[in-house]
């Protein structure tokens, strides 16, 4: 079984988002995989930190990267992932070369993806480390469980 075949359906969605969508500037693919009301929160403390809402917000965020970097190897690889209810937590690696500077950079970070019933991505939260992403996903899962218990 190849690496692609062994991926979960949600991992395949995330891989398509980055490698067929973002890295190739194919926003039709990006928007096929995201909910129109998507909320994307970049890594706190990064130069592009902030929250981007809806298709146009995400397009601006991605385009800023595309204007400054060429992605190598398709864009992004998932090094590890864990599914937790409606979320997928991924440790990711992206390799890019700065346009103009030709400086090659390898970025390692983690994301928590929240999926809707239709398997479109509702929310993306980026974290500097795998541990931060796992902690955030755990808090979110506990909050969701508590909300379910509190309902009459």
CA distance 143 to 86: 13
The pLDDT of residue 1 is 37
Residue pLDDT, tens place only, 51-90: 999 999 999 999 999 999 988 766 789 999 999 889 999 9
Domain containing residue 146: CATH number: 3.10.450.50
Domain count, the chain: 1
Q: Which domain holds residue 124?
A: 3-150
47 pLDDT band (50/70/90 cuts)?
Answer: confident
pLDDT tens digits, one per residue of 109-132: 999 999 999 999 999 999 999 999
What average pLDDT does this structure show over 124-144? 86
- The model's pTM is 0.86
57 vs 33: CA distance, rounded Å: 15
Region 103-113 average pLDDT:
95
> Measuring CA to CA, how many Å separate 78 from each of 4, 57, 98, 100, 111?
11, 24, 22, 28, 10
């Amino acid at each position: 079984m190849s690496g692609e075949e062994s991926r979960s359906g949600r991992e395949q969605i995330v891989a398509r988002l980055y490698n067929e969508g973002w890295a190739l500037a194919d926003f039709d693919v990006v928007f096929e995989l995201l909910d129109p009301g998507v909320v994307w929160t970049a890594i706190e403390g990064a130069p592009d930190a902030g929250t981007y809402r809806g298709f146009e917000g995400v397009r601006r965020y991605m385009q800023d990267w595309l204007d400054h970097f060429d992605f190598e190897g398709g864009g992004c690889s998932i090094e590890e992932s864990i599914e937790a209810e409606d979320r997928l937590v991924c440790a990711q690696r992206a390799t890019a070369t700065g346009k103009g500077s030709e400086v090659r950079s390898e970025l390692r970070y983690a994301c928590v993806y929240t999926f809707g019933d239709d398997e479109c991505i509702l929310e993306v939260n980026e974290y500097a480390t795998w541990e931060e992403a796992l902690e955030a996903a755990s808090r979110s899962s506990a909050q969701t469980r508590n909300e379910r218990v509190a309902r009459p």
